Amino acid sequence: MNQPINHHPASFRDPSGFIYEKDGTIFRFVAAGYSEDYDLLMKSGLADELLKKKLLLPFTEFSENHTGRADWYKTLQPQQLPFLSYAWEWSFEQLKGAALTTLDICKQALQKGMILKDASPTNIQFVDGRFKLIDTLSFETYKEGESWIAYRQFCECFLNPLLIAFHTGMEVHRLMLSYPDGVPATVTSSLLPFKTKLNASVYLHVHLQAKMAGKHSTGQKQTTRKITQKNIDQILQNLHSLISNLSLPVQTTTWNNYYSETILSETYFSEKKKLVSSLLESTEYSSVLDLGANEGEFSLLCKNDAMVISTDFDSDCINRLYKRIKEEKRTNIYPAVIDLTYPSPSLGWRNEERQAFFKRTKVDVCMALALMHHLAIAKNITFEQLAAFFASVCKVLIIEFVPKSDPKVLGMLKWRKDIFDEYDQETFEHAFAPLFVLERKMIVQGSERTMYVYRKK
């Protein structure tokens, strides 16, 4: 009789196995039907090579069958992930990084007689400072003459949104939220400018695929020409080259030059960094959520052994943070493009496959620095609503109050009616008092702003 296990709601489509949770630990069930492919993965040296290159999430084999299922072959315990993010929370550079990682892995697999049978961004996670494949069962034995079955999925999930973003300026996280299973070639072809039809690679991977999709839908006979391993290798190389050369032009937004041009003053900025550093040093924590992180200047002040989720609604800011942590080899920061007033919802079958952002995000410390006035004034969210929200995500809250006399608030109110009679420090403190204990309160030197440290009751 099978033992009851906590089957992960996102892991049910692949007959090769599934992941489940037992006593707070994630395990992977490998079915007997996948045994030949799994053995080839291990014996060919592919797994060792990918682990050595840090392209595959580390795992260990367990001899115990927790499930009691008769078709059990192996139990794997993967490295436990501190945080899961999805493609609809990634910036352009993040999706590009995940795409190139997928192609690198597929190329390595082909050299060992295997190939990726799927190419979904949900199989890739940003962990330890780089993207890695987390689905150990994504490989299958390569059969000469067969095409790469995951080719269309790769193009729809990676190439197409990157091309649309590059050529039209649309943001990849918004595209992926609209098309969580990937942007079809027909949609991509219709959005790309005509000049892209003159690019041989884009024509091959997008416009030709869109034409073929049209023919398939009308029932015309499909080509059955066999494809060689060399052909697949050339396709992988071509995709890699095409995506590697996609880079967004340097953009200037209100937020990505915030530190260099729109900050109140250098004194304020340096004093605020000293203050936040001292507050973090005097706080015990292992996880931090930095909301409205901009380019992550304050996320970078967190200790290296703490997991730090850095969010901002400006994808260009997250792009820059992603590039910076890669350059500085910071492995504990997880950038995510999140609009706090429209955070990622739960998606997928029964709304359970992909959890909403704040269901995945419970932390010790939450930082909301120079953020609250944007939520309270630009978005009309009350202090009571904000207090309840912060109490739902963290134990300790470091929050900055920006008064109405502040130049930034005055600027916000310049072009709109001031209906915010209750936007003052006393009302703010009164709203947070029922849910939090005030531990510290201090002026940020160089400004009229106040920093609060609250602990959840």
| Digitized pLDDT (tens) for each residue of the chain, 457 residues in all | 455 677 888 888 899 999 999 999 999 999 999 999 999 999 999 999 999 999 999 999 988 999 999 999 999 999 999 999 999 999 999 999 999 999 999 999 999 999 999 999 999 999 999 999 999 999 999 999 999 999 999 999 999 999 999 999 999 999 999 999 999 999 999 999 999 999 999 999 999 999 988 776 555 555 556 789 999 999 999 999 999 999 998 766 655 565 555 566 788 889 999 999 999 999 999 999 999 999 999 999 999 999 999 999 999 999 999 999 999 999 999 999 999 999 999 999 999 999 999 999 989 999 999 999 999 999 999 999 999 999 999 999 999 999 999 998 999 898 888 888 899 999 999 999 999 999 999 999 989 999 999 999 9
Q: What are phi and psi of 74, to 5 degrees?
A: -145, 155
**Euclidean distance between CA atoms 301 and 286, whole angstroms:** 13
Q: What is the pLDDT of residue 151?
A: 97
Q: What is the pLDDT of residue 1?
A: 46
Q: What is the pLDDT of residue 6?
A: 79
Q: Is the dihedral of CA 249, 88, 343, 437 positive or negative?
A: negative
Contact criterion met (CB below 8 Å) for 453 and 397: yes
Q: What are phi and psi of 125, to 5 degrees?
A: -135, 150
The 3-state DSSP class for residue 27 equals strand
How many Cβ atoms are within 10 Å of 233's Cβ, its own excluded? 15
**Euclidean distance between CA atoms 375 and 386, whole angstroms:** 8
Name the pTM for this structure: 0.93
Residues 63, 69, 75: CA angle, nearest 5 degrees: 30
**Euclidean distance between CA atoms 15 and 3, whole angstroms:** 19
Helix (H) or strand (E) holding 15: none
Q: What is the pLDDT of residue 144?
A: 92
